[in-house]
Structure 1
């Protein structure tokens, strides 16, 4: 498998989304604009030459858009291997490349979000365990912080207190999200419109800086939906999924 390192120099011509082939789609363009800013913060986006089938996205944990304390670590935003490409070792290729790069940059280890039970858009904990990762912290909603230290005396990464007990005071549906996930650019406005049509209280909070994301009341900042203060899910909603949620 051939891999391509996406940078500010080639991002305009490279395909970067796992599900959307049209580079002019607002979902793709918004993600690319987010990536362009993060490249300046040390983000690495390594993908397969095959369109959007396998990729890893990581950056220094100090610049991660998540409320974690993991100074000196590299944080993996996303490790994705799609469909028929699973089971061929491509995920290991990408993770190994991340490990080698992180060690060359003097990092203490890697950290990543996962969960004991599989949750949407989070890495598989069984794969992480197989690769030597261990749980170092867990929030009340089951989101876990996993780490792979490069030295035995490396300090444990941990969640910030604001994310350890995901809860807010606001009533109704409240969504925290970032431009990291391409689907948000299309579907957040759609869900807002569905809520309006059904007379449902819904407020979307677009986290637009790492400082905002690092102080969010949720470990997952790409998409975190609350209802009457309680955390519900990190699964992106479209109109059908949201209407199904409302019917419960």
Structure 2
């Protein structure tokens, strides 16, 4: 499979947003705007020459939108191969391209957010271990920071101290921290806010707009972190149906 790297020159015409077909969709537009602003930070978005979920996105960990300390590493935002593209070795192809790039640029290795067991929107820990990744650090309730060092004795990446304990916030009601790194937040955040308002529940959407804000966020997964009555509920981007079910359960 041919791999294409997103640049300022081809960003407007390349399909980059998962399985979203309409390039004028607000999700696509939000993601492309976010990507464009990150290119100067060294972000790389490498995709298969297809329309679908077959890509890897990474950047220098110093510029990562996550509360991690991993100087000298690349931080992988997302490695996603799904649907008809699974089972053909494309994940390995993308990961190997990332490793080559990291070594050519003098990076110490790779770091990526995972979990104790496979969960949506997080890298599969079983796959990562198969590829040689090691556990670098943990954060409550289930997050794991995995890393692939290129040499023995490299310092391990770690979570920033403020996210080591179970994440919480001081506000009551629903508080959602999110970024535009994932295109789905552009669609679902406004929908979830409307649903919460119908239920009469306060909803505070905190849109993280800089890497500094993201690095100071209360949860390791800054793309989407949902809290209720101060307690962390989920990192998974919820559909309307799942959110309604969640509200029914907390209102009982």
State whether structure 2 residue 243 is matched by structure 1 residue 242. yes
Give CA deviations for 1:89-135 in whole Å, capped at 9, x if unaligned: 10000000000000000000100001121111111111100000011
Give, in angstroms, the shift of residue 186 of structure 1.
1.4
Alignment partner, residue 68 of structure 1: 68
Unaligned runs of 5+ in 1: none
Cα distance in 1 for residues equivalent to 2:126 and 2:88: 16
Alignment partner, residue 3 of structure 2: 3
Cα distance in 1 for residues equivalent to 2:234 and 2:8: 33
Alignment partner, residue 217 of structure 2: 216
Question: Contact between 1:18 and 1:82, CA under 8 Å: does it hold in 2?
Answer: no
Give, in angstroms, the shift of residue 149 of structure 1.
0.4
Deviates most, 127-136 or 166-175: 166-175
Unaligned runs of 5+ in 2: none
Alignment partner, residue 16 of structure 1: 16
Cα distance in 1 for residues equivalent to 2:125 and 2:40: 30
Cα distance in 2 for residues equivalent to 1:53 and 1:246: 30
Deviates most, 231-240 or 198-207: 231-240
Give, in angstroms, the shift of residue 162 of structure 1.
1.7
State whether structure 2 residue 155 is matched by structure 1 residue 174. no
Question: Contact between 2:196 and 2:202, CA under 8 Å: does it hold in 1?
Answer: yes
Alignment partner, residue 186 of structure 2: 185
Alignment partner, residue 105 of structure 2: 105
Alignment partner, residue 206 of structure 1: 207
Cα distance in 1 for residues equivalent to 2:128 and 2:118: 12
SS of aligned partner of 1:40: helix
Cα distance in 2 for residues equivalent to 1:168 and 1:61: 25
The residue correspondences of 1:74-85 to structure 2 (distance < 5 A) are: 74-85=74-85
Question: Contact between 1:62 and 1:69, CA under 8 Å: does it hold in 2?
Answer: yes
TM-score by length of 2: 0.97
Question: Contact between 2:19 and 2:51, CA under 8 Å: does it hold in 1?
Answer: no
Give, in angstroms, the shift of residue 56 of structure 1.
0.2
Cα distance in 2 for residues equivalent to 1:9 and 1:234: 33
Alignment partner, residue 44 of structure 1: 44
Cα distance in 1 for residues equivalent to 2:83 and 2:30: 24
SS of aligned partner of 1:114: strand
Alignment partner, residue 136 of structure 2: 136
Cα distance in 1 for residues equivalent to 2:24 and 2:87: 31
Give, in angstroms, the shift of residue 52 of structure 1.
2.5
Give, in angstroms, the shift of residue 88 of structure 1.
1.1
Give CA deviations for 1:21-76 in whole Å, capped at 9, x if unaligned: 11100000000000001111000000000112310000000000000000000000
Alignment partner, residue 86 of structure 1: 86
Cα distance in 1 for residues equivalent to 2:65 and 2:122: 15
Give, in angstroms, the shift of residue 19 of structure 1.
2.0
Give, in angstroms, the shift of residue 196 of structure 1.
0.7
Give, in angstroms, the shift of residue 197 of structure 1.
1.1
**Aligned residues, how many?**
248
SS of aligned partner of 1:47: strand
TM-score by length of 1: 0.98
